Chain A
Amino acid sequence: MSTESIGSDPGGPAPQATDPGRGHAREHGHGHDHIHPAPSHFLTKYVFSQDHKIIGIQFLFSGLIFFVLGGLLAMAIRWQLAWPWKPLPILGSALWSSPSLGYQMPPEFYNKLFTMHATIMIFFVIIPLLTGAFGNFLIPLMIGARDMAFPKLNMFSYWFMWPAFVLITYSFFVEGGSSEAGWTGYPILSIAKWATPGSLNGQTFWLMALLFAGVSSLMGSINYITTIVMLRAPGMRMFRMPMTVWAMFITAILQAFALPVLTSALIMQLLDRTAGTNFFSPVGWQVANSPPVVGGGGPLLWQHLFWFYSHPAVYIMILPAMGMVSDVIATFSRKPLFGYKPMVIAIAGIAGLGFIVWGHHMFQSGMNPALGATFMLSTMMIALPSAIKVFNWLGTMWGGRIQYTSAMLNAMAFVAMFIIGGLSGIFMAATPVDILIHDTYFIVGHIHYVLFGGSTFGIFAAIYYWYPKMFGRMMSERLGLIHFFLTFVFFNGTFFLMHIIGMHGHPRRIADPLVYEYLNRAGVIGMNQFMTINAFLLGLSQLIFAYNFLASLFLGPKAPVNPWHANTLEWGTSSPPPHYNFARIPTVYHPPYEYSVPGVEQDFLPQTEPLPPGIVLDPVMA
């Protein structure tokens, strides 16, 4: 092995291009000097693969399949809200074979719909796509490693999702049906078996599914951290890593610290449900005439534990997208990223502050209101790094030469929509205003501007951008632009007015708003129907994406090595990259965003190409 300490040369001199043997001994992690031959059997190559690229693609397909399921559930939710108790078209008579009730959706089924929609979108779509799919695929390629530090652990991290997939899908069919305690699973509703049908068995399946998903994430995050710390190519200093890698790195740290708390909370709830413990049940409550319980715990404990994980988790759901969007914006503006270091600091700041703001989900929970006041301050402060990032993206585009590819448009939509999601957060952070809007559609609007307007547009940007590298084929740009246009329009049509009905006091999670007089108004009903129509069109527009994605796998034109003329390392190897990624481990000479450097003939300067003589890079913040 090389004598140079592994990968830790921040600030050190840029290494010379040295003997090719040096590279692959260090990235290989266990110090011997050969490369394992590529697996040849179908099973080891594509199913039980230890290749980070295949694992990333496995996560990608699984996530997209659950995206379809989650989307269908969402449309059923919207149907009920716009036309309460009208049987679902086609499905209604198939699902509820009771003509006496007019094939109406039972209210408990509505509760299952939004519980499972949110659970699936968060734990089976967004997190697996962002960290599982793109984290796995991109990290080794972008830092110039041959694979993850622990390839076998990586394989397990995907296969541990399978029990989760099976359990969550199976939960729809158990007695009582799937969980209906909301994706937050608040006790007592979740632990009292007779509180609501979904608490009978569905909740147990829900808990176990989340436990497995959590284990999977934990394995992934340990792998990411180790890989990024240990396996960077020569010259890839920390401050030469692309924002995507930085974001994945910090996300992984966040996850490694927060997940154990969720895991213990899930186990505690599981024990409360099955072993008769009383972590979350107080003295003397009683559900549906069951004998009073001798408790000793309290439901607020669950909320603290749950949000201690799930607040950081909302950053787990957005930081990787921020990183990828930064890369896309710089590439298609043909400009260096504005304020690279402040961006890194902002991400780290978000992660750090992310741990001390969980209480803002509990302003109305009965927690000591003095805590509410301090959580208001910390929550306001976390808005700051987010604002900095927005200004930096705008600064990156300023003076650029913007190329409107599908990836770029989705990335710009990310910025535009994230601004809305960020600003609505300020209303909720202000504790007195939150009294009105907590648990209303204002929150639902906010969630979706962050998760759909943010994370999902980020994922679309990433797919359009890295698809050529992943599959060696180009997607159709024309279909991509149409898909973007329709998605952007119908997304806003679906979600924006949620802010309005929310501030009018429309509670979330109610199967029939017409029960309430103040919601039984023409404007509110009309808005609900408008949103539903848009939601259906939004869903339909995704067919274009599905077609483009699938058809291009076979019919798309062959992708060149570097279709977007980007700088980062993954664009220096073939599309798709070979087993072990690089024929020869690259050496890195400069930061990732050196676009349009004066004097350089092309408008890009790959990280692996030495500076042409006589050129100096801009030293500011680079």
Chain B
Amino acid sequence: MRYWSVVFALAAIFSVGAFVYAPLSGDWWLPNPSGDMHHSVSSFGREIDSLFVIILVITGVVFIGTQVVLVWEAYRFADRVDDAGRPVRQARYFHGSQRLEVIWTIIPAAILVFIALYQMGTWANIKFRSAAPKVQPTAEVTARQFQWIFRYPGPDRKLYTPDDLYTVNDFHFVKDRMTLINLRSSDVIHSFFLPHMRIKQDAVPGMIIPVWFDSDTAGHFELVCAELCGWGHYKMRGNVTVHASDEEFAKWQADLLAEQNRSQLSMATDNQGR
């Protein structure tokens, strides 16, 4: 009967094993560029990853500790009977211990408060509007079923003027720049999720929400819709291009402008008839 403890032990080993293996495999760890799995591409990403690891270590220790106790108890205190069918030992009779109770209240409380306070700064940097970079927004992003519409400032470098540029499901920004966008939704709630930059923010109809992030790696990434938004939710995917330099970005914009002028129809009207 005491071998039931093995069942509990195996579950714990499986759980710990999965998290021990995770950092060794690109597919199991936090989303990072392929081939470079221990390198988050954004400054927020690095902060969040290290907070993740800290919590993983703390919870891991607690998890292993409690499971060891549980498995040990399941093994050690299993009921055994002697040949005459009488219990080999009697259970101990006690109702608890005030001192233990106090200890295991205060220590976890301290750890939890520590975790909470330790995270505050990062949270404030990522979300508090007062921390938003004082730059012109790179784009206004409007989510709708089931696409992402980007509106960039045109040659006059101002948003909401007639020369604005539009793309659909195609997001561009520049490496090493804190990039600011204004996030909106024109129908249901969507969620702007950049897994590689560790950015997620719901796009709520009726609200304009500033979101900012950066990337220290040029290349191609993905934009996900993380809030259920209807039957096509799963395919509301965007391409993200991080340009290596301002020049490259400017060139992309110039090309886009040329194309947009050529086709007369702006993307915006094009998109009206879905």
Instruction: Please report A residues at the B interface, Cβ cutoff 8 Å.
Output: 106-108, 110-111, 180-182, 186-189, 192, 195-197, 281-289, 295, 298-300, 333-340, 342, 364-366, 369-370, 372-373, 376-377, 380-381, 383-384, 387-388, 390-392, 394-395, 397-404, 409, 412-413, 415-416, 419-420, 423-424, 426-427, 429-433, 435-436, 438-440, 485, 488-489, 492, 496-497, 499-500, 503-505, 507, 509-513, 515-518, 521-524, 593, 595-598, 603, 618, 620-622
B250 within 8 Å of A (CB atoms): no
Q: Which residues of B contact A439 (CB under 8 A)?
A: 191, 193, 200, 226-227
B52's partner among A384, A436, A496 (CB-CB below 8 A) is A436
Q: Which residues of A contact B274 (CB under 8 A)?
A: 288-289
Q: Which of B219-248 contact A (CB under 8 A)?
A: 222, 224-235, 237
CB closest residue in chain A, given B114: A380
Are A284 and B93 closer than 8 Å at their CB atoms? Answer: no
CB closest residue in chain A, given B123: A431
15 A-B contacts (beta carbon < 8 Å): A107-B231, A107-B232, A107-B234, A186-B189, A188-B188, A299-B205, A333-B77, A387-B108, A397-B73, A423-B59, A431-B127, A489-B7, A505-B193, A507-B224, A621-B95
CB closest residue in chain A, given B196: A518
B127's partner among A195, A299, A369 (CB-CB below 8 A) is A369
CB closest residue in chain B, given A188: B188
A430's partner among B26, B116, B126 (CB-CB below 8 A) is B116
CB closest residue in chain A, given B96: A339
B47 within 8 Å of A (CB atoms): yes
Going nearest first, the 6 A-B pairs with the smallest beta carbon separation are: A282-B206, A523-B27, A505-B195, A399-B92, A369-B127, A108-B231
**Shortest distance from the beta carbon of A194 to any chain B beta carbon, whole Å:** 10
A504's partner among B28, B55, B224 (CB-CB below 8 A) is B28
Are A412 and B200 closer than 8 Å at their CB atoms? Answer: no
Q: Which residues of A contact B191 (CB under 8 A)?
A: 364, 439
A496's partner among B18, B67, B98 (CB-CB below 8 A) is B18
Besides the contacts A370-B128, A621-B95, what 12 more A-B pairs have beta carbons closer than 8 Å?
A111-B233, A281-B205, A337-B95, A380-B113, A388-B105, A402-B78, A424-B59, A431-B119, A436-B198, A496-B14, A497-B18, A509-B228
A333 to B14, CA, bound (A): 27
**Shortest distance from the beta carbon of A460 to any chain B beta carbon, whole Å:** 15
Q: Which residues of A contact B265 (CB under 8 A)?
A: none
**Shortest distance from the beta carbon of B99 to any chain A beta carbon, whole Å:** 11
Q: Which of B136-194 contact A (CB under 8 A)?
A: 145, 185-189, 191, 193
Are B77 and A196 closer than 8 Å at their CB atoms? Answer: no
Most buried by B among A365, A413, A430: A430
A622 to B94, CA, bound (A): 9
B15's partner among A496, A521, A593 (CB-CB below 8 A) is A496
B89 within 8 Å of A (CB atoms): yes
Q: Which residues of B contact A181 (CB under 8 A)?
A: 228
**Shortest distance from the beta carbon of A332 to any chain B beta carbon, whole Å:** 8
Are B101 and A512 closer than 8 Å at their CB atoms? Answer: no
Are B51 and A433 closer than 8 Å at their CB atoms? Answer: yes
Are A621 and B98 closer than 8 Å at their CB atoms? Answer: yes
Q: Which residues of A contact B119 (CB under 8 A)?
A: 376, 430-433
Are A384 and B29 closer than 8 Å at their CB atoms? Answer: no
CB closest residue in chain B, given A399: B92
B84 within 8 Å of A (CB atoms): no
Are B93 and A338 closer than 8 Å at their CB atoms? Answer: no
B201's partner among A334, A364, A398 (CB-CB below 8 A) is A364
B206's partner among A298, A489, A593 (CB-CB below 8 A) is A298
A436 to B200, CA, bound (A): 7
CB closest residue in chain B, given A394: B69
CB closest residue in chain A, given B17: A496
Are A342 and B101 closer than 8 Å at their CB atoms? Answer: yes
A295 to B205, CA, bound (A): 11
A288 to B188, CA, bound (A): 10
**Shortest distance from the beta carbon of A474 to any chain B beta carbon, whole Å:** 19
B109 within 8 Å of A (CB atoms): yes
Are A436 and B30 closer than 8 Å at their CB atoms? Answer: yes
CB closest residue in chain A, given B78: A402
Q: Write the B55-93 contact mask toward A (1 if CB under 8 angstroms, else 0).
A: 110110011001101100110011100000001011111
Given A189-B229, A435-B200, A439-B200: A338 touches B95 (CB 8 Å cut-off): yes
